[in-house]
């Protein structure tokens, strides 16, 4: 049995299809000529987890998983533990604890 442990930062993309939400993760690699090649891999979360499209997360615990469709093995990543990266909405500046509110 192959054992994998996956950690790190990722951007999660979500897509609705037939009343279900499917997730994928962006991948990229640097080619020998110095350019980058982009790809995607399916990801799955625990039941009940909802992730908005284009959400950046920090994966704390995940592993390589698969399912079989039409006798073909399809790899995916099962993400069991993660944190959403803190994101500041466009047009807002970051404030630290010592800043006072302007109103």
Q: Where are the domains of the chain?
A: 6-84
Task: Select 6-84's CATH number: 2.60.40, 3.30.1490, 2.40.50, 1.10.15.
Answer: 2.40.50
Q: Is the dihedral of CA 45, 54, 26, 58 positive or negative?
A: negative
Q: What is the pLDDT of residues 21-43, one digit of tens each?
A: 999 998 899 999 999 999 999 99
Band of residue 52 on the pLDDT scale cut at 50, 70, 90: very high
pTM (two decimals): 0.75
Mean of per-residue pLDDT scores for the chain:
87
CA dist list (Å): 13 to 43, 48, 67: 9, 17, 20
pLDDT number for residue 81: 96
pLDDT number for residue 40: 94
pLDDT number for residue 39: 93
End-to-end C-alpha distance for the chain, whole angstroms: 59
pLDDT number for residue 92: 57
């Amino acid at each position: 049995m192959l054992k994998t442990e996956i950690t790190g930062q990722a951007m999660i993309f979500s897509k609705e299809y037939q009343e279900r939400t499917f997730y994928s993760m962006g991948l990229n690699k640097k080619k020998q000529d110095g350019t980058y090649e982009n790809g995607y891999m399916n990801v799955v979360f625990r039941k009940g987890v909802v992730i908005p499209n284009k959400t950046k997360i920090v994966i704390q615990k995940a592993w390589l998983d698969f399912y079989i469709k039409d006798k073909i093995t399809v790899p995916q990543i099962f993400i069991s533990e993660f944190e959403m990266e803190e994101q500041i909405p466009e047009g807002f500046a970051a404030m630290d604890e010592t800043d006072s509110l302007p109103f």
